[in-house]
Amino acid sequence: MKKPVQKSTPAATALVSLIFLFAGSGLASAQSGPSREEQMACRSDAGKFCAEHIGKPPQMNACLRDNKSKLSDPCRKVVESRGG
């Protein structure tokens, strides 16, 4: 019996994009990608302010930096801690 294919939600897509954002962009730490806590801190903000850049790590990175003043405190701290 086949299992139904599960479609991804915008929130799941944003989370995956954040993983790539921090792992492959200028905000990335040389040693490691974002922690689970960092990913969760920015998930909502990424979807709210930068949804059009999901799946495009360089653009997402720039968008989060450009919107830093609008980000939640936890996400702003993540962006700042990673050089943004």
The tens digit of pLDDT for each residue in 34-79 reads: 678 987 898 999 999 999 988 887 888 789 899 999 999 999 998 9
Quick one: which of 31, 18, 15, 12 has its CA closest to 59?
Answer: 18
Burial class from Cβ neighbours inside 10 Å (0-12, 13-18, 19+) for residue 21 reads buried
- Tell me the pTM: 0.61
Confidence of residue 28 (pLDDT cuts 50, 70, 90): very low
- Sign, CA torsion 22/27/33/35: negative
